Amino acid sequence: MSKQPHKRTSGKYKSSYRDYYTLKNLVAIRTGSIIFLILNLILLILYYALSESLTRAQNFPEFHFANLLYICITPVFLIGSYVLIYVYKKQKRAHIVMGFFVFLFSFYIIFCGMYSSFIATSDPRNAMTLYLTALSIISVVFVFENDETIVLIVLAEILFTSLLYITHAEAMEMVYNQLISITLLFCFFFVSRYFYSYKSSYFMQLVDIREKNIDIEKAGAFKNEILGMVAHDLRNPIAAIETLTMMMEMEDVDKDTRENLDMIKTSCAKARGIIADLLDAANNENINIIETQRTELNHFIKSIINEWKVQKNAKNNIILISSKNQVFVEINAEKFQRVMDNLITNALKFSKDNNKIEIYLSTKNDMAILEVRDYGLGIPADMLPYIFERFSKARRPGLRGEQSTGLGLSISRQIIENHNGTVEVKSEEKKGSTFTIKLPKVE
């Protein structure tokens, strides 16, 4: 792509590339017209401020005439650029008038540089700076097709030859000047082609990135759809297994069978947790707007702790330590309970049965602060940067062999961020971990 980008833009992208660079050209005309007009207005102001010293300069009347001419013509291009940019943005495409306008402005700038060189001295090869500057600006800033560049060069050479005849240059001087002009125009052609290739390469990179992003979005949507379907369909057979297990428990069974039934129930509970993670991963992606309600956090956290003690049989002591009687936030209760369940599950997974799980609630400025602290295994320092990633490589089995999908913390962070909050972690191996959630308070 980088070696022959102009060939890449010759197919289906040629039209879109022309639209792309036409807008860039029009914006460059707008900027260039403003700069050129300001420069000429400054020269006009200097003329009135320093008229006595300036009028003694060589060819001053011609310079003054050219200055006034530029001040009159340049606003036409400035206004035209604004109009055509507006039309372009409305139609979302370029048309031939825009291309001709760009060509005309480029020729105008080349003419200004060339004419100023002739004003400086009747032998322009001694003062080619302005002519060279004009050609350099046009070749670098503006994008032209190959045939447009050739036409511009031919017209510039015709204009240069005409000015030489008008100044009645001698034959040898005319030859020298023509050689210099042809050399400059050849350089202009090659520089213009180089920047055309460079800019077309950049454009194709943008196209490739855009197309890849579209493919990634489609693949992501398809993946989420499949993930949601699979996870949803898995719930029915697991529910059936749990129902059969409960029915078997109602009968008289021996000790070994009872242990097997408990194992089945535990496995089903783990499977339901994995399915919930998969469904959250599929459903929460790209959902940044959630329904919330004003909730008092002390009461909310206490209800979660009671549920863990009663329904989930947590062997560890989970306690709430609050420095405020009432702390109100705007949350989606169902989703935020999912966050707390994930953090408590992680804390229990890497803690011994006699370890405490502490939940601290405090406030600072306009933020409510929740800290979930355990005194368990801790997280290795090299894993900390990755624990909030989806399907994180930092996932590892718990102390009792519990497996992880690597989704829980990723989902939790996404839910917290959708509540305009933040989550961070501090951990030290063999001393435990602290997950800190910050949420905006409400009155």
Contacts of 338 (CB under 8 A, 6+ apart): 276, 280, 411, 412, 415
Count of Cβ atoms closer than 10 Å to residue 371 Cβ: 17
**pLDDT tens per residue across span 153-196:** 999 999 888 887 877 667 777 788 888 888 989 999 999 999 88
* Calpha distance 424→405 (Å, rounded): 20
Q: What is the pLDDT of residue 59?
A: 60
More confident residue, 79 or 314: 79
More confident residue, 14 or 305: 305
* Calpha distance 435→423 (Å, rounded): 7
In the chain, the amino acid numbered 335 is K
Classify 175 as helix, strand or coil: helix
Average pLDDT score over residue span 30-38: 93
pLDDT at 89 over 50: yes
In the chain, the amino acid numbered 118 is F
- What one-character DSSP code corresponds to residue 442? -
Please check whether residue 414 lies inside any domain of the structure.
yes
Please check whether residue 223 lies inside any domain of the structure.
no
* Calpha distance 24→243 (Å, rounded): 67
- Tally of structural domains, the chain: 3
Q: Are residues 279 and 370 in the same domain?
A: no
More confident residue, 281 or 441: 441
**pLDDT tens per residue across span 416-426:** 998 999 999 99
Count of Cβ atoms closer than 10 Å to residue 118 Cβ: 23
Helices (H), 367-407: none
pLDDT at 238 over 90: no
Q: Are residues 307 and 280 in the same domain?
A: no
Q: Are residues 67 and 114 in the same domain?
A: yes
Please check whether residue 222 lies inside any domain of the structure.
no
Q: What is the pLDDT of residue 4?
A: 43
Q: Are residues 359 and 426 in the same domain?
A: yes
In the chain, the amino acid numbered 278 is L
Range of the domain at 150: 5-216
Q: Are residues 125 and 161 in the same domain?
A: yes
* Calpha distance 186→180 (Å, rounded): 10
- Per the prediction, the chain carries an average pLDDT of 81
More confident residue, 175 or 35: 35
Please check whether residue 328 lies inside any domain of the structure.
yes
Q: What is the pLDDT of residue 72?
A: 93
Average pLDDT score over residue span 316-328: 88
Q: Are residues 97 and 168 in the same domain?
A: yes
More confident residue, 13 or 358: 358
Helices (H), 288-387: 297-310, 333-349
Q: Are residues 174 and 54 in the same domain?
A: yes
Q: What is the pLDDT of residue 372?
A: 94
Average pLDDT score over residue span 307-312: 73
**Pairing mode of beta strands 328-331, 356-364:** unpaired
Q: Tell which of 188, 216, 244 closes a domain.
A: 216
Handedness of CA 306, 310, 312, 313 (dihedral sign): positive
pLDDT at 12 over 80: no
**pLDDT tens per residue across span 118-161:** 775 544 554 577 888 888 889 999 998 888 899 999 999 998 88
pLDDT at 7 over 50: no
Q: Write down the residue that tokens 């009872």 correspond to.
A: 258
* Calpha distance 315→414 (Å, rounded): 29
More confident residue, 25 or 285: 25
Q: Are residues 27 and 135 in the same domain?
A: yes
In the chain, the amino acid numbered 388 is F
Number of alpha helices (DSSP H) and beta strands (DSSP E) in the chain: 12, 7
Residue 322 · residue 362 · CB < 8 Å: yes
**pLDDT tens per residue across span 333-391:** 888 988 998 898 888 888 887 788 899 999 998 999 999 999 888 888 888 888 888 76
- To the nearest 10 degrees (0 to 180), the angle between helices 129-141 and 14-49 is 150
Q: Tell which of 284, 309, 331 closes a domain.
A: 284
Residue 440 · residue 357 · CB < 8 Å: no
Q: Are residues 400 and 264 in the same domain?
A: no
pLDDT at 54 over 80: no
pTM for the structure as a whole: 0.53
Please check whether residue 186 lies inside any domain of the structure.
yes
* Calpha distance 413→436 (Å, rounded): 11
Q: Are residues 155 and 244 in the same domain?
A: no
pLDDT more than 90, % of the chain: 26
Q: Are residues 274 and 334 in the same domain?
A: no
pLDDT more than 70, % of the chain: 81
Average pLDDT score over residue span 78-92: 91
Q: What is the CATH number of the domain that holds 370?
A: 3.30.565.10
Q: Tell which of 262, 284, 306 closes a domain.
A: 284
Q: What is the pLDDT of residue 2?
A: 39
* Calpha distance 20→199 (Å, rounded): 10
Please check whether residue 221 lies inside any domain of the structure.
no
Handedness of CA 88, 93, 96, 102 (dihedral sign): positive
- Taking CA atoms, 380 is separated from 282, 400, 405, 440, in Å, by 29, 18, 18, 30
Q: Write down the residue that tokens 């959708």 correspond to.
A: 418
Q: Are residues 43 and 74 in the same domain?
A: yes
- Find the helix or strand (DSSP H, E) in which 61 lies: helix 60-91
